[in-house]
Amino acid sequence: MVRVNDLPCIVWLRQDLRLEDQPAFAAAVARGGAIIPVFIWDPAAEGEWKPGGATRWWLHHSLAKLGAEIESRGGRLVIREGDSAQQLAELVAATGASAVYWCRRYEPEIVGRDARLKRELRKQGAETGSFNGALLHEPHSIQNKQGRPFQVFTPYWRHCLSLPKTAVGAGAPEKWPSPAHWPASVELNALGLLPRLGWAEMFGDHHEPGEAGAAKRLDEFLARSVDTYEDLRNIPGKKGTSRLSPHLHFGEISPRQIWAATEALGKEAGVFPSSNGARVFLSEVGWREFAHHLLFHFPQTPTEPLRQEFERFPWREDPDGELLRAWQKGQTGYPIVDAGMRELWSTGWMHNRVRMVVASFLVKHLRLPWQRGAEWFWDTLVDADLAANSLGWQWSAGCGADAAPYFRVFAPVLQGSKFDGAGDYVRRWVPEIAGLPDKHLHAPWEAPTEILSAAGVRLGDTYPGPLVDHKTARDAALAAYQELRKSRP
């Protein structure tokens, strides 16, 4: 007589592409029997937020690394394409699997889909199990004293810090328990994930997708930069940040692993956190948690402002898209803004301080809707995460939870001078003005003609003049904000 636990278990992989500290794998190991890891390419399930070009590039390489690691342990990564419910139903029927396990996701479209999937699989006779593999604290488990979701980060994070942390758990087996017959799988290349026309050809110079790459990135950061993180995280020309965001998004590393590794430093130092830099770094992990908390409780925020009065904000008209294209291409005439947008296009990533600068420029200097910026970031960032992307853009536009007030307008020249005083960042990404002295690098239109000529800079030709005047744009943004306040019902 065949016992249920002798039948295969399908582990459905999504944004949890790792083998260590992977609770769905751990549950399958504890259950016993063969384990069939499955990835299903089903972009239609994401609704209007289908994976962008840069994240598809990362996904391709992450799956390749994961598949190779599973094979080294004697297993296989089964890849399917199509409707997830249909594919899982077919796999259960073809393999005789008696269970399907996965790690939870928290995006609005996915939460509803997963609930329906559980019911359908159970009708088919398969046990289902979902687990938290992505967050320190799941959104539904955190509430304020009034029993409502938090909307301000500081009390949210203070509450989270008071809660016990889940330890790093087990994951996949070293020696894979394989089924008698592996189900059919499509080739990874058949999914067509890699961008065409060579757009992402430089991405590999800057990123190492996969679980091993994530562990390497964390180790290097903790050894090199965590203690100076508070001071250097705002300097785009320095290697002062962890750059773990894409690894976290794809689940190649868990926040539990990051917390435990940072805590281990504290044990060595005899105090936790081991430095103020480590404390600030962990608070950034907290901001990621907060973003998922907000998206779960306010599912409209990827497209609608949390502060509903901003639905009436008088955004500027850009009928031909000329202003938006200039911003996208890094041709605004403001070097720190252009450097950030070019870094994004070339590498699929942008330094966080510069993300705030370019976002402020779009929604306040150009006064274009924050949704246009969110859409561009979604397609071009390798770490495009619906929760973090929505939080970041609503923060910049002043219309979200715990947001920067709209009247706080980042001055791009000041931001450039303050955080890239030596010009390392701008000179790297805007090489046509690299010959300008530091004094004029962040405002080339103010440089004397002879200095521009000596540097080979011809404004309006080799480099554009300012797309808008800072003071004029700032005044117009503040006037629009006042118009919004007057229009309150």
Active site residues: 284, 287, 315, 352, 370, 393
CA nearest neighbour of 56 among 340, 250, 345, 186:
250
Here the tokens at position 169 are 């758990």
Max CA-CA distance within the chain? 90
Here the tokens at position 188 are 């990874």
Q: In a 3-state reduction of DSSP, which class is residue 452?
A: helix
Q: Report CA-CA distances (Å) from 42 to 84, 85, 192, 303, 430.
A: 6, 10, 13, 22, 38
Q: In a 3-state reduction of DSSP, which class is residue 130?
A: strand
Q: Classify residue 459 by its DSSP letter.
A: B
**Distance from C-alpha of 308 to C-alpha of 322, rounded to nearest angstrom:** 28
Q: In a 3-state reduction of DSSP, which class is residue 402?
A: coil
CB < 8 Å & 24+ apart, contacts of 182-186: 182/36, 182/76, 182/78, 183/36, 183/78, 183/91, 183/94, 183/95, 184/78, 184/94, 185/76, 185/77, 185/78, 185/79, 185/80, 186/79, 186/80, 186/81
The radius of gyration of the chain's CA atoms, rounded to the nearest angstrom, is 24
CA nearest neighbour of 292 among 423, 401, 408, 421:
401
